[in-house]
Amino acid sequence: MKAVVIGAGLAGCEAAWQLAKRQVDVTLFEMKPRKMTPAHKSAGFAELVCSNSLRSNEVGVGSGLLKEEMRQLGSLILEAADATRVPAGGALAVDRHAFSAYVEARIRENPHIRVEAAEITEVPGENAVIATGPLTSDGLASAISALPGLKTLSFFDAAAPIVSADSLDMTKVFSQGRYGQGDDYLNAPMNEAEYNAFYEALLSAEPAEVHGFDGTQVFEGCMPIEVMAARGRMVMAFGPMKPVGLVDPRTGHRPYAAVQLRAENREKTMFNLVGFQTRLKWGEQKRVFSMIPGLESAEFLRYGVMHRNTFLHSPGFLSETYEMITRPSVYFAGQMTGVEGYVESASSGLVAGLSLARKLQGKEPVIFTDRTMIGGLARHVACASGNFQPMNANFGLIAPLKERIRGKHERYLAMAGRSLDYIEALRCNPLADDFA
């Protein structure tokens, strides 16, 4: 049995590892060091191009639960992270150079993996995992964009922050559509003083570096809220923060300005800040956006991002195993599928590698379902509706509990326990022969 993996980032290395563990001979193609992207600095595998933190290690946090699920399933990326950990409180942070070296050594020493330094510019016909990341080379990106069933291939993402519904102060935020048209939106009203303070904070906030584009290209595509503010004090109030058609039930009057929040899922456990695309640093987003009335204690499930990012419009194109619907046995993995983050990327590689191995062995696929964080992410990629955007691991992706638990922390721990029980049941049943 033979397979091809394209890209030796976190997702590609994880996919190659999962295939090789199941006795599949893998050719792993990596274009570095012959060709580098604007974001990469080293020739090593599994390079962490931004932070050295893989975020929280607590199972009561979305990213922490995802890590524990992956540990239970024999993830190479988590093995490497645990082996190269550095002190970081409750977070899992690593020595980035040691981490990369660990992953690369494990890949290169595996007798079932052969590494080739080459750029691939065509999509393989079968038995492949494509994990070339958000800066996929132009040649391969062009070939991918021509694949049947793919609606769009985006070349930048401009996403607004997403907050947890549980963390909003509903004594300040009210549910109302403009001019009484339904109640699909939440509204965070501001008076004039609050608006002016928010405006000044935006003007002084520090932006993050944008890789791969100059500022005018990104801003013309979708204007960041801080750029909008820089064009004039009232630009936001006549744009995404316009209060027309709204009545604050606390005052009986139209607010001076309002931030609208739109549900991200049917259960309304997650809301995005409408029109708040941003390239501010994450700490600055937390500081400034927490000034919005009702969001003082907001839990940010995903911060706003704006950078060059090749990602697929995956719903209707990929299945819940990250397999192409129109070309079975070709899988995608990593950020280009619509997952956002180091561990999330690796999780998609784990699912894609496991799934391709099982297909080659004539076994049924494993669907992790939205009882797990791995499955919740995969379901988002395959089934999300509306304006599809990349997503981090968060508990809004997991099916709610049948029983009602009032405290958010206790509820998340109960959901995590259910998830890990589900993973254990899989390991003891359809996956038993894979993990013996």
Rounded mean pLDDT, 117-122: 95
Rounded mean pLDDT, 87-101: 84
Evaluate whether 2-159+307-435 and 162-303 have a shared fold.
Answer: no
* Most confident among 49-53, 95-99, 213-217, 291-295 (mean pLDDT): 291-295
Rounded mean pLDDT, 244-273: 90
Q: Is 217 or 255 the better-scoring residue by pLDDT?
A: 255
Q: Is the pLDDT reported for residue 157 higher than 60?
A: no
Q: Is 48 or 293 the better-scoring residue by pLDDT?
A: 293
Domain boundaries, the chain: 2-159+307-435, 162-303
- Which pLDDT score is estimated for 388? 82
162-303 to CATH, choices 3.30.70.20, 2.120.10.80, 2.40.30.260, 3.40.50.300:
2.40.30.260
The H or E element that residue 53 is part of is: strand 53-56
Using alpha carbons, select from 309, 307, 344, 419 the residue that is nearest to residue 55: 344
- Which pLDDT score is estimated for 217? 41
Domain 2-159+307-435 has CATH 3.30.420.10: no
- Which pLDDT score is estimated for 158? 58
For the chain, percent of residues with pLDDT exceeding 90: 68
pLDDT band at 315 (very low <50, low <70, confident <90, very high): very high
Q: Is the pLDDT reported for residue 182 higher than 90?
A: no
Number of Cβ atoms within 10 Å of the Cβ of 429: 10
Q: Is the pLDDT reported for residue 213 higher than 50?
A: no
Determine which of 153-157, 247-251, 271-275, 376-380 has the lowest per-residue pLDDT on average.
153-157
Q: Is the pLDDT reported for residue 150 higher than 70?
A: yes
Using alpha carbons, select from 36, 19, 11, 31 the residue that is nearest to residue 103: 11
Rounded mean pLDDT, 78-83: 97
Do the beta carbons of residue 300 and residue 315 sit within 8 Å?
no
Rounded mean pLDDT, 183-205: 95
> SS3 of 163, please?
strand
For the chain, percent of residues with pLDDT exceeding 70: 92
The H or E element that residue 218 is part of is: helix 215-221
Using alpha carbons, select from 351, 353, 167 the residue that is nearest to residue 271: 167
* Most confident among 107-116, 155-164, 386-395 (mean pLDDT): 107-116
What's the rounded Cα separation, in Å, for the pair 405 and 409? 9
Phi-psi label, residue 252: left if phi above 0, alpha if psi -120 to 50, beta otherwise: left
Phi-psi label, residue 281: left if phi above 0, alpha if psi -120 to 50, beta otherwise: beta
What's the rounded Cα separation, in Å, for the pair 294 and 297? 8
Q: Is the pLDDT reported for residue 210 higher than 70?
A: no
Dump strand ranges (E) for 68-223. 85-86, 91-94, 113-117, 128-130, 153-159, 162-164, 174-175, 185-190
Using a 10 angstrom Cβ sphere, with 0-12 exposed, 13-18 middle and 19 or more buried, the burial of residue 194 is middle
- Amino acid type, 231: R
Rounded mean pLDDT, 25-36: 92
4-25 tens-digit pLDDT? 999 999 999 999 999 999 999 9
pLDDT band at 101 (very low <50, low <70, confident <90, very high): very high
